[in-house]
Structure 1
Amino acid sequence: MNLVKFFNDEALQGNHFIFEPEQYETASFELLDVTIGIKFHWERKENQKFKGSLKFLVEDEKLTAINVLSLEDYLLSVISSEMSATSSLELLKAHAVISRSWLLAQVIKGKQLEQSKSAYQSISETKEEYIRWYDREDHTNFDVCADDHCQRYQGVTRQSSELVSKAIHETRGLCLMHNNNICDARFYKSCGGITESFRKTWEPVNHSYLQAIVDNPQAPLSYDLDLTNEAAAQHWIRTSPEAFCNTHDKKVLSQVLNDYDQETTDFYRWKVVYSQEKIAELISRKTGKDFGAIIDLEPVERGKSGRLMKLKIVGSKLTLIIGKELQIRKVLSESHLYSSAFVVDRININNGIPDEFILTGAGWGHGVGLCQIGAAMMGEKGYSFGEILDHYFKGAELKAYY
């Protein structure tokens, strides 16, 4: 049986060529040694199968493989890649709406950038500061990538369950909307107790539906919840306040964490220890600058979740402020810190130079939008998918886009 229309005049087009299935529902193709979790602590390779068309693009002497398929089929894979077959129906429905909304918002944003006369800017650099956020700047030949930079898409490698299909079907065409625009709905693993606003993490644009909220039906007592205040952030991060995502319930966690995700056991609160030698070498290598010995890591600006948006690295030879949150996570880890919501302890200080740094942190991910572990707990507690979306996306409306 022929599975693809092989090379013909229509398939060969300039710097790319396309394989199209003759029988969409039964045909598939396999890519070997696909890297997933790129530059994250769970990075690995796996073989992946896909439905739809396969497009090869040649650019700068490199070959890019692009899978072309329908949005709803894409969602079947995304939800199966991001979630587990044990997930509750309400969690799956909430995630289907979010992933659909996010994808459509990115397609619209990409088209707007193509039409814009000015280049997309994601870096601000002076002698004293290096501020960068990561979003759309490297996705010019396709709508979205297949890894955690966008949302996990691992083809039909992750078998979709009947429940996933049901969630996609029952929410078909539903999107989060605000002022008749599709919401740029974001998600991550664990907020650490309070979510973050969009403008603190990416470009300085205010989305009213992506603001900081407490991940708890009732605000915890005895806490100042404005974590832009350093004392409040220190108290919050060094303790473990009640929150939807503050759980070690294996049943709940298995709904959101795939096998390789479950290698991470501490995410609501976590700790990293660096020797002076290690942190000095790491920062120098990641920034390409010689700071000398690291004297201090000083918070400059935090968001309301406690996540650092600006961090001052004080060295014996150089001082520099870096941001935003992902840049901080990249510089202070071989892969990525779980989040930028952390506090610093300097140990055994001699002549102003610490022998050791201890980073105590909260949460896993950027903290904007839906907290996957928190949403899983909400689903387990009986909340509907609409209530889950209302909790994390204040002011957004659920509407049929198609």
Structure 2
Amino acid sequence: MENHFLKVGKDRYRDYIRFLSNGNELTIINHVKLDHYLYGVVPSEMPSSFPIEALKAQAIAARNYTLRNVNKHIKEGYNLCDTVHCQVYSGLDWEKDSTNKAIDETKGMYIYYNGELIDAVYHSTSGGYTEDSSQVWGNDFPYLKPVEDIYSKDSPNSSWTLQISSSELNKRLVSAGVNVGEVLDMEVLETTSAGRVQKLKVKGTLGEQVLGSSKIRAILGSADLKSTWFSVRKEGSSGENNTAYVLDGNNEKADKINLNNAHIIDGQNKQTASRGIISRVINKNNTETLGGLYNHTGQYYIIEGKGYGHGVGMSQWGAKKMAEEGYSYEEILKHYYSGVDILYNDW
């Protein structure tokens, strides 16, 4: 059975497959042994090129996470999904020799706090300081407390910058059901002890709304807003980007005008203020559309942040750096999970 696998489409999976029918939907479920499952998880969650001690730390953390969350989808008829909602699982074709070795050499190893399996959550990189689980999810675990993480400071995404225009920000807010009108400003109201944003106020022409950390990342996208450890500043002003060049039909040379003082003339010679509507060039014979909605403010926001992910538990890039500096998998895990023991349990 060790080398037994089944094929679903182009993908191969270990052990066996079951099909669950629910109305018009068909769910494919892979029943798999724990370590066979980890064979498909670890290389999906951490680059297989990382040092072996980092891979071992990831293998043990993933093993813990699996058992602590094994019934996360039990109402749907299976244990865990194969996405970031649980752990990314890619099946047999994603397996790598290095990660399989890390799993095999840590077989039966688990992380405990006061005799109980911990929920060994992890993330890409902390940016220099990990976060308290109670500040992110509300569950206060003594082993998921903030720790200084110098090993993540020079990793990819340890610092990053996101620039977003007022119009794009407004579009994303409206798509998420948040309508404050034209965005005028954003203000950080509250941060965690580790510096991550908990509440952000968005001010607009129609009012203002306070957003929580999970809502912020959902609106801006977790790939763009890589973490909630950030500061924000507004650039541009109402005096920028308020000019245009027009031809009046009598001159060959375009004249520069201030759109704040300009008007659009429709077919009935009715004047409409140009601010916030489609800008046009008017000549003797017709009216030609120049482009999309004109953003009269020219404002945009610079968001400067640190880290990638929720910041709780083990930093994967920090684990890589620790392994490169000669730390063992046990030392890596004890750095990121406070007061824990790494023990063998042959279940």
For 2:7, the equivalent position in structure 1 comes to: 29
- State which structure, 1 or 2, has the greater radius of gyration over its C-alpha atoms: 2
For 2:51, the equivalent position in structure 1 comes to: 88
Alignment partner of 2:300 out of 356, 372, 385 = 356
1:367 aligns with 2:303: no
Alignment partner of 1:153 out of 89, 106, 111 = 89
Displacement, 1:58? Answer: 2.7
For 1:106, the equivalent position in structure 2 comes to: 69
For 2:337, the equivalent position in structure 1 comes to: 393
For 1:330, the equivalent position in structure 2 comes to: 218
The alignment partner of 1:320 has SS state of: strand
Q: 1:66 to 1:137 in 2, by over 3 A?
A: closer
| Separation of aligned partners in 2, 1:354 and 1:314 | 16
Q: Please tell me the residue identity of whatever aligns with 2:312.
A: V
| Separation of aligned partners in 2, 1:213 and 1:334 | 23
Displacement, 1:354? Answer: 7.0
The alignment partner of 1:157 has SS state of: helix
TM-align CA RMSD: 2.3
1:292 aligns with 2:181: yes
Q: 1:333 to 1:159 in 2, by over 3 A?
A: closer
For 1:173, the equivalent position in structure 2 comes to: 108
Alignment partner of 1:245 out of 147, 152, 172 = 152
| Separation of aligned partners in 1, 2:218 and 2:186 | 15
| Separation of aligned partners in 2, 1:373 and 1:82 | 11
> Contact (CA 8 Å) 2:5, 2:12: kept in 1 or not?
no
Q: 1:139 to 1:281 in 2, by over 3 A?
A: farther
Q: 1:335 to 1:82 in 2, by over 3 A?
A: closer
| Separation of aligned partners in 2, 1:374 and 1:397 | 20
Alignment partner of 2:170 out of 262, 280, 289 = 280
The alignment partner of 2:56 has SS state of: helix
The alignment partner of 2:327 has SS state of: coil
| Separation of aligned partners in 2, 1:155 and 1:361 | 34
Q: Which runs of 5+ in 2 are unaligned?
A: 240-296
Task: Give the number of equivalent residue pairs.
Answer: 290
Q: 1:142 to 1:311 in 2, by over 3 A?
A: farther
User: 1:1-400 residue pairs with structure 2 within 5 A?
Assistant: 25-32=3-10, 48-59=11-22, 61-107=24-70, 110=71, 140-161=76-97, 163-202=98-137, 204-215=138-149, 243-247=150-154, 267-286=157-176, 288-323=177-212, 325-333=213-221, 337-350=225-238, 355-400=299-344
Displacement, 1:361? Answer: 0.9
For 2:244, the equivalent position in structure 1 comes to: none
| Separation of aligned partners in 2, 1:302 and 1:63 | 44
> Contact (CA 8 Å) 2:15, 2:31: kept in 1 or not?
yes
* Stretches (4+) displaced over 6 A: none
The alignment partner of 1:298 has SS state of: strand
The alignment partner of 2:94 has SS state of: coil
Displacement, 1:389? Answer: 0.6
The alignment partner of 1:244 has SS state of: helix
Q: Please tell me the residue identity of whatever aligns with 1:314.
A: K
What TM-score comes out, normalization by structure 1 length?
0.67
Identical aligned pairs, as a percentage? Answer: 30
Displacement, 1:327? Answer: 2.4
| Separation of aligned partners in 2, 1:170 and 1:333 | 37
> Contact (CA 8 Å) 2:125, 2:317: kept in 1 or not?
yes
| Separation of aligned partners in 2, 1:280 and 1:139 | 37
Q: Deviations over 1:316-371 (max 9, x none)?
A: 21322222x332111123855211111111112339x6711111111110100000
Q: 1:137 to 1:275 in 2, by over 3 A?
A: farther
Q: 1:139 to 1:283 in 2, by over 3 A?
A: farther
Q: Deviations over 1:59-96 (max 9, x none)?
A: 35322222110001111111122233322221111111
For 1:118, the equivalent position in structure 2 comes to: none
Q: Please tell me the residue identity of whatever aligns with 1:210.
A: L
> Contact (CA 8 Å) 1:195, 1:214: kept in 2 or not?
yes
| Separation of aligned partners in 2, 1:138 and 1:356 | 45
| Separation of aligned partners in 1, 2:37 and 2:302 | 41
Q: Please tell me the residue identity of whatever aligns with 1:246.
A: K
What TM-score comes out, normalization by structure 2 length?
0.77
Q: 1:372 to 1:334 in 2, by over 3 A?
A: closer
Q: Which runs of 5+ in 1 are unaligned?
A: 1-22, 33-47, 111-135, 216-242, 249-265
For 1:5, the equivalent position in structure 2 comes to: none
| Separation of aligned partners in 2, 1:354 and 1:342 | 23
| Separation of aligned partners in 2, 1:185 and 1:347 | 40
Q: Deviations over 1:249-296 (max 9, x none)?
A: xxxxxxxxxxxxxxxxx511111111111111111112x132101122
Q: Deviations over 1:205-225 (max 9, x none)?
A: 21010011110xxxxxxxxxx
